[in-house]
Amino acid sequence: MSHSKLERQFTKAYDQYADAIFRHCYFRIGDRERGMEMMQETFMKSWEYAGNGKEIKDMRAFLYRIANNLIVDQLRRKSRRTEESLETLQEKGFDIAGEDNSARATEKVFNEKQVVEVLGKIKEPYRSAVIMRYIDELSPKQIAEAMDESVNVVSVRINRGMNTLRSLLPDYA
């Protein structure tokens, strides 16, 4: 494949999937900045793979597989950090100066943190299946391709993950 054709395909893939890959990484690890880095790393690794002349049959599934591998590596290397820096809170919308919109921004940060916290309590591989289904809006078939599992296994994981999520939600109401 010519370099310009490969470049066009990757530009198109980036435009189509970058936001979804970012959301997937972010909700899996709970760190916005690291989620962005992992999304970028996912596209870099896929570019290197294709640049070496290797064929990618299903770009979306391939990108999710790379992202999932990066997430697993991240979780193995480092335990989650619960403290947040002042700078991170500001990036998420927390207004330290106390402007009028700070209550709404604070509520948004805490709601987002609650979602990440609840999702973090669901065990793998159920968490991945729930995130891919309801946050990334992938079909069970697409999830099965990305996870290299059968559609039936993915459906069971989604169901069990949602049951766990429902049992945890009263704690956050």
Quick: pLDDT tens for 10-30.
Answer: 899 999 999 999 999 998 888
pLDDT at residue 148 tops 80: yes
Q: Looking at the domain assignment, is residue 166 inside a domain?
A: no
Percent of the chain's residues with pLDDT above 90: 36
User: How many domains would you assign to the chain?
Assistant: 1
The whole-number average pLDDT for the span 129-157 is: 90
Distances (CA, A) of 139 to 19, 88, 142: 17, 33, 5
Q: What is the pTM of this model?
A: 0.61
Please list, in sequence order, all residues whose beta carbon lies within 8 angstroms of the beta carbon of residue 53, skipping any fewer than 6 positions away: 1
Buried b (16+ CB within 10 A) or exposed e, 59-77: bbbbbbbbbbebbeebeee
The whole-number average pLDDT for the span 23-50 is: 91
pLDDT on residue 83? 44
Q: Looking at the domain assignment, is residue 9 inside a domain?
A: yes
Q: Note down the domain range covering 40.
A: 1-81
The whole-number average pLDDT for the span 120-129 is: 89
The whole-number average pLDDT for the span 50-62 is: 87
Asked if 146 and 65 count as a contact pair (C-beta separation under 8 A), the reply is yes
Q: Looking at the domain assignment, is residue 40 inside a domain?
A: yes
Distance CA 14, CA 39 (A): 10
Asked if 151 and 144 count as a contact pair (C-beta separation under 8 A), the reply is yes
CATH at 13: 1.10.1740.10
pLDDT on residue 53? 83
The whole-number average pLDDT for the span 35-43 is: 95
Q: Looking at the domain assignment, is residue 86 inside a domain?
A: no
Distances (CA, A) of 72 to 15, 77, 113: 25, 9, 21
* pLDDT (tens digit per residue) in 71-118: 888 877 765 444 455 556 556 555 545 444 444 544 444 466 777 788
